[in-house]
Amino acid sequence: MAPVELRQPRLSEHEEMLAGKLYDASDPELDGLRNRAGDLCTRFNNLPRGDQQEREQVLDELVPRRGPEVSIMGPIFFDYGIHTSIGARTFINFNFTALDCVPISIGDDVLMGPNVSLLPPMHPLRWQDRNSRHRPDGSLYDYEYAKPISIGSNCWLGGNVTVIGGVTIGEGCVIGAGAVVTRDIPAHTVAVGNPARVIREITDQDAACFQKYAL
């Protein structure tokens, strides 16, 4: 079977990408948007922690769809930034990666530990479709696609959690450190492991262990 080719007629590569279709990632418009995001990430990562005003100004350009009182430690690494939305009061720890070639939605009051990665990009399984190719002018290109990620409000993702494209994590979930989330996680549950699996629900009984601190 010959290598797959992009369907015709088509929209812009940017529009095809956001629609979850195969697209040419080397498209000049997309290159420009990724370069812009990369430069903004570099600016943010090089700013002193105490320079909150300038850090916020960079985030206003990089992640404009951001609620109030969002706290991002950095360093951060976004593919585009403009395709990610972050809810109010969300906290993001060190080394956050969001390859947002399709929408990434993060709810309110989400906690993210260090080294969390949100990875929507997908590549074809067959090498014939996945490998780079040469244009007539000799330049390289390849085809990829992506699936969106949605993280509900009031979730806690532990350190080194990886979320794969196409996943929805329901409200109020806890994802254990080191988990690789490859499928949807229902609301108000704890999920751990690689691949992540639900081990139990979170209930009001989980408050009981803190009563001794409240006395």
Q: Positive or negative, the Cα torsion across 177, 180, 181, 183? A: negative
Residue 96: which residues within 8 A CB-CB, separation 6 or more? 72, 73, 74, 75, 76, 77, 112, 115, 116, 117
Q: How many residues does the chain have?
A: 215
Per the residue annotation, which of 14, 83, 123, 188 is the catalytic one? Answer: 123
Cis ω for the linkage preceding 9 (within 30 of 0): yes
CB count, 10 Å around CB of 25?
18
Is 123 a catalytic site residue? yes
Catalytic residues: 123
